[in-house]
Amino acid sequence: MDKISADVILDAKGLACPMPIVKTKKAINQLEPGKVLEVQATDKGSQADMKAWAESTGHQYLGTLEENGVLRHFLKKHSHDEADGKKYPHIASNDELKERMKANEPVVVLDVREAVEYASGHIPGAVSIPMGELDGRADELRKDQDIFVICRTGNRSDLAAKKLKDKGFHNVFNVIPGMSKWTGETEGGQQ
C-alpha cells in the first residue's frame, strides 16, 4: 500500500461536510483526465460523500485508506478513453463468473484495477496486475487458462482483454459490469 501515489494531494483535514466535497470539486477541475487526486480528510462522513459524489459526476472513486485518524480518499478524474465503447467481443457477466467460481471450475480472475482499488476490496484469489503493468507482466499468466478480466466497470478490463488476446491468450473474458456491481464474496478493504 505504500506504493499508492497521487498526482495531487488535497488537504481537507479538519473540515466538516460539505467542505471536503467543495474543495475536491475545485481540485479535480484543475487535473488532467486520468490523473489521481488524494483527498486527506478527518470527517468520518467524507468516505460515503466522496464515493457518492464520484459516482454521480463520472469520476472514479478508487478507495479510501485510513491512517492515524486521517482518511485518504483516492479519486481518478474521468478520462475520455474510459468512455469509449466496448471493443472486445467475449464477455461474461458477474453472475457467470460467480457460478464458475462456485462450481470450482479452473478460472483465473485477473483484476486490472489500481493497487488502491484492489486493496479496498477484491474477489478472493484474484491476481492483481494493474492495467498499466499488463504489457510487462502478462507472462505471469498461462495462455491455456480461462482468464476472467475484471475492473471497476468493464472499461479497463475491455482494453486488458484485447491486449491479452493480441498476445496470444485465447480464453479471455471481459467481466461486465465489474466490481462496481459485484455481489459475491470479497476480501480486503476496511473491516
Q: Which residues are catalytically annotated? A: 17
Residues near 175 by beta carbon (within 8 Å), at least 6 away in sequence: 91, 92, 93, 94, 97, 109, 148, 149, 150, 154, 157
Q: What distance in Å separates the CA atoms of residue 36 and residue 151, rounded to the nearest whole number? A: 16
